Chains A and B, each alone.
Chain A
């Protein structure tokens, strides 16, 4: 039961972060260049994503569960540790905080400076391509998260429901605010998600390598606690040693 709750929360939070990033790109391009081609790009990315899920789903059933856990655990560990590393560096001031407002302004400026959108009857390929790439890349990451969490725990439906809830919530908030999603505390969310992805990666990667965890599934909570303490301690140590960012570094 506790691992189901943890699986739902982790998949929901990780998917919400990816959805925020995709939505920031789509909103910036849509506001500046118009919605028609942007939404066609979003739709096309959705179709490609659905095709990838349809192709990957049946293939997963053919792979032995221990092999799947080992591969998925290793991938999740590599991916999660990158998030956690960046989150520690941001929290300690060594990397500028990721600002969705700034990302929105940057995307908007780039969209505005691109070649004119053309007539309303034709596709604006700039809007289409940017929206397509943004949704496809972030969507692929959500798909990967759902497939890994769902298949290794045997709860694909629960993981898909968590991801779908996150995407619906983020899109609903995006429609309401119609601007950058500054109110979503993305950096704290990324710290927590990086910690959870890394912890699940350790757990499944270990199981795939033949480890029998003390206390079974409850060991996930112990891994989260251990890596959480390590990450917070590293953040504090780095913060004490930090020199202020230069103006150029802060703008980067």
Chain B
């Protein structure tokens, strides 16, 4: 049980880390890209823009609360 918890914690830190909103935002952006592409809409621009916005939002939140 202890090792299972440590294993789950490792993956949680690996994927989610300090800001769960970023992980949720990335999942949404990937899902939306897949949805648009599967309907033949060119969506190559979506992920880079989403990543830039998620990064900006996350560091802005951290600078207000932690800095």
Contacts and interface: CB of A to CB of B under 8 A. Distances in A.
Given A79-B14, A210-B34, A210-B38, A202 B48 contact: yes
Given A78-B16, A202-B48, A211-B44, A238 B59 contact: yes
Contacts of A230: 52, 55-56
Interface residue SS majority, chain A: helix
Contacts of A73: 30
Contacts of A85: 18-19, 22, 55, 58-59, 62
Interface in B3-26: 10, 14-19, 22-23, 26
B63 A231 contact: no
Question: How many of chain B's residues touch chain A, expressed as a range?
Answer: 20 to 34
Interface string A82-120: 101110110011110000000000000000000000000
What is the interface residue range for chain A against chain B? 35 or more
Interface of A: 70, 73-75, 77-79, 81-82, 84-86, 88-89, 92-95, 137, 140-141, 198, 202, 205-206, 209-214, 219, 223, 226-227, 230-231, 234, 238, 241-243, 245
Interface of B: 10, 14-19, 22-23, 26-27, 30, 33-34, 37-38, 43-44, 47-48, 51-52, 54-56, 58-59, 62-63, 66-67
